[in-house]
Chains A and B, each alone.
Chain A
C-alpha cells in the first residue's frame, strides 16, 4: 500500500523493468549472433551505419539493447506514471529479465543455447 506522503511507485517500477528488458535483449542478440550468419552480418552496425569502427557485431548488439532499454522505459513510464503498482511483482519480473539476460551472456550457457539450433555453425 502506498504511503500517502510519498509519490506513486509506478515510474520506478517501470525503470526497473526497462533495465531488465535491455538486459534480456542484449542476451538474446548474443545468442542470435552465433546462430545465424545473416544476423551476424546485420549486427555489424559499425559497417552498416558507421557506429564505431572495427567493433563488429558487438556494435549492433549493444545499440539494439540500448534502444530496447530506452524505448521500453518510455512506454512503461507512460503506462505506470501516477500509478501505485504491485511493486513486488514488477520487481520480480525485472529480476527475472536481468538474470535471463545475465545467463544468456555467460559463455557456457549461450554456447549451450546456440547448440540447440540445428543450423548453428
Chain B
C-alpha cells in the first residue's frame, strides 16, 4: 500500500482540505443562523462568537489553500501534454495524461469540456466570497446579533461560497475517478 507524491497532493487538495472546508462551513453556518437576540443570552452570544470567528476564518483560509494547491500543483499534472507522436485518440497510451485521456473518447470528453472547464474557474469564487464573510464576522463580532440584514447577507454569501466549492469538489471527485492523476 503506497501513494505517489502526486496522489498525496491530490488527497490533500481534495480530501483533507475539502473535509476541513465542509466542517468549517457547517459550524459557521450554524453559528451565523443562530446568532439571534431572541435565541441567546448575552453569555450565549459571548460564548459562540469566537467559534463563529474561527469557523468563518478557517473556511476562508482553507478555500484559498484549496484553490491555490489545485491550480498550481494538481492542475498542471492534469493538463500535462503527451510527447509528440502519441496517438491522441488512443486512450490506452494516454493514461499519464488525464486531460488528453478524457478528450480521446466521446464517452469521456465532456468530463473535461464541461466538468473541468467549470470546476477550474468556479472554484476561485469560493475564497472571494468566504473572505468577505470572514471579514464581516471579524468586523462586527458579537454586534452581528443587532444587524440582522448583514447577518442574513453573510449567510447568503457563505452558502454561495459553499456552492461554488461544492461544484468544484464534486466534479473534482468525478474527474479523479474517471481519469486519476498518478
Contacts and interface: CB of A to CB of B under 8 A. Distances in A.
Given A6-B143, A53-B76, A98-B160, A88 B149 contact: yes
A52 B128 CA distance: 20
Contact of B128 (A5, A23, A30, A58): A23
Contacts, number: 102
Interface in A83-121: 87-88, 91, 94-95, 98, 101-102, 105-108
A9 to B, nearest CB: 6
A108 B139 CA distance: 38
A22 B128 contact: yes
B71 to A, nearest CB: 6
B71 A65 contact: no
A30 B125 contact: no
Given A95-B156, A105-B118, A7 B113 contact: no
A117 B78 CA distance: 29
Interface string B85-128: 00000000000000000000000000001100110111011001
Interface residues of B, number: 34
Given A9-B147, A69-B128, A107 B114 contact: yes
Nearest to B134: A15
A43 interface: no
B174 interface: no
A98 B139 contact: no
Q: How large is the interface on A (under 10, 10 to 19, 20 to 34, 35 or more residues)?
A: 35 or more
Per DSSP, chain B at the interface is: helix
B75 A58 contact: yes
Interface string B26-44: 0000000000000000000
Given A69-B128, A107-B113, A55 B143 contact: no
A102 B164 contact: yes
B20 interface: no
Contacts of B3: none
B71 A52 contact: yes
Contacts of B139: 7, 11-12
Interface string B141-168: 0010011011001001100100010000
Contact of B135 (A15, A59, A87, A88): A15
Interface of A: 3, 5-7, 9, 11-12, 15-16, 18-19, 22-23, 26-27, 30, 51-56, 58-59, 61-62, 65-66, 69, 87-88, 91, 94-95, 98, 101-102, 105-108
